[in-house]
């Protein structure tokens, strides 16, 4: 580092609609596919950091998967004599220079230089959205396409799904719900919460005449970390229970089989129904312990000359 140059590390929360991306991770090389990280790092180039800014992503998501709130850490080293950006200025700068409308930076925090966004996370929560009563693809509102798994069934046995989900709670070897290609060294995970409920917000895009036919459902899973495609595989099995293709007790048998290639557990729910809802850390966002970062965050208003005044 140059004399007087300071390297500052930040924890950044961001959200995105995953439809247009090949996942969150950057795609390097000449491929046409591109990740959310590519756009974030492109925006960060405008920060004029002495060293290139790289985002270390907390939670990798596949192509088509969305995030209400993902997280990453990054280092910004300004030129000698310039103070570190405030978290508010950094947030506004990244949003100003983002070139894709499906990505938004929510909030930033200054963190110690040893902080690691992936290793320090204490909790991750995923949301999976289902729709029932959709017998043909054109019966789903266009605004809900690529945002839920549309099922042809008119209803789900939610009580059976909840019973089945109880078998997944706790610490288990989850290799029966792990897809090939996982970098995890151990398939043991602790599932803290698994819930199945009617979507409390339903959908604002359903017309009144469609509301009796279409219903929306939410599945939520919380753990410190998950295996590759674990949530989508668990969702597929729970949907099979809800449709009557599996009994709740069979979910326990599938879990104990530790076989990822069985008849039911090899099915993977579509990516477009999955949302990373929250990544939590101790000490950030609240003084009473980790809570999801609010999506209704105050934004620093942009105004003429803002970027020039802040050196970005």
Across 29-43, 54-68, 169-183, 291-305, the highest mean pLDDT is recorded for 54-68
Q: Residues within the annotated binding site for substrate?
A: 126
User: What domains are there in the chain, each with its CATH number?
Assistant: 8-110 (3.30.70.580), 122-281 (3.30.70.660)
> Residue 302: what pLDDT?
37
Q: Is a pLDDT exceeding 70 seen at residue 180?
A: yes
Q: 93: alpha, beta or left, given left = phi > 0 and alpha = psi -120 to 50?
A: alpha
The pLDDT value given to residue 264: 82
More confident residue, 19 or 136: 19
Percent of the chain with pLDDT over 70: 85
Q: Which residue has the higher pLDDT, 213 or 93?
A: 93
Q: Give yes or no for residue 2 having a pLDDT over 60.
A: no
Q: Phi and psi dihedrals of 238, rounded to 5? A: -65, -35
What's the chain's average pLDDT?
87
pLDDT at 270: 97
Lowest-pLDDT choice from 103-117, 135-149, 215-229: 135-149
User: Which neighbouring-strand residues pair with 128?
Assistant: 219, 274
Q: pTM for the full model? A: 0.87
In the predicted model, is pLDDT for residue 48 greater than 50? Answer: yes
Task: Give catalytic residues, as residue numbers.
Answer: 62
Q: In this model, does residue 310 exceed pLDDT 80?
A: no
199 by DSSP, 3-state: which? Answer: coil
What pLDDT, in 10s, does the model give residues 183-222? 788 999 999 999 999 875 566 766 565 666 788 999 999 9
- Banded pLDDT at 299 (limits 50, 70, 90): very low
Judge whether residue 305 has pLDDT over 80: no
pLDDT digits (tens, 9 = 90+) for 124-147: 999 999 999 988 888 888 888 899
pLDDT at 34 over 50: yes
279 by DSSP, 3-state: which?
strand
What is the pLDDT confidence band of residue 312, given thresholds at 50, 70 and 90?
low
What average pLDDT does this structure show over 163-191? 93
Cα separations (Å) of 102 from 28, 73, 90, 239?
20, 20, 19, 29
**Both tokens assigned to 108:** 């930033």
CB 11 within 8 A of CB 121: no
Structural contact between residues 198 and 217, judged by C-beta atoms closer than 8 angstroms: yes
The Cα–Cα gap between 234 and 126 comes to 12
**pLDDT tens by residue, 55-73:** 999 999 999 999 999 999 9
Residue 301 pLDDT grade (very low, low, confident, very high; cuts 50, 70, 90): very low
**pLDDT on residue 1:** 47
């Amino acid at each position: 580092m140059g004399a007087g140059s300071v390297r500052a590390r930040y924890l950044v929360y961001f959200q995105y609609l995953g439809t247009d991306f090949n996942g969150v991770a950057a795609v390097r090389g000449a491929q046409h596919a591109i990740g959310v990280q590519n756009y974030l790092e492109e925006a960060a180039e405008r920060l004029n950091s002495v060293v290139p800014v790289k985002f270390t992503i907390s939670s990798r998501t596949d192509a088509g998967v969305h995030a209400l709130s993902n997280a990453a850490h990054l280092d910004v080293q300004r030129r000698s004599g310039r103070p570190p950006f405030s978290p508010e200025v950094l947030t506004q700068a990244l949003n100003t220079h983002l070139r894709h409308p499906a990505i938004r930076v929510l909030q930033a925090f200054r963190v110690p230089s040893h902080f690691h966004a992936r290793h320090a996370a204490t909790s991750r929560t995923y949301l999976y959205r289902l729709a029932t009563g959709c017998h043909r693809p054109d019966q789903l509102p266009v605004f809900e396409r690529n945002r839920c798994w549309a099922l042809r069934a008119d209803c789900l046995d939610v009580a059976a799904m909840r019973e089945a989900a109880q078998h997944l709670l706790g610490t288990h070897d989850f290799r029966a719900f792990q897809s090939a290609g996982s970098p995890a060294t151990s398939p043991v995970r602790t599932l803290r919460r698994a819930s199945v409920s009617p979507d409390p917000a339903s959908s604002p895009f359903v017309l009144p005449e469609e509301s009796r036919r279409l219903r929306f459902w939410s599945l939520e899973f919380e753990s410190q970390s998950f295996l590759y495609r674990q949530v989508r595989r668990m969702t597929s099995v729970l949907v099979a229970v809800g449709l009557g293709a599996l009994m709740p007790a069979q979910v326990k048998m599938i879990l104990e089989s530790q076989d990822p290639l069985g008849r039911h557990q090899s099915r993977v729910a579509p990516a477009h129904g999955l949302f990373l809802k929250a990544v939590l850390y101790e000490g950030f966002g609240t003084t009473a312990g980790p809570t999801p970062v609010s999506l209704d965050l105050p934004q620093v208003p942009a105004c003429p000359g803002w970027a020039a005044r802040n050196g970005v």
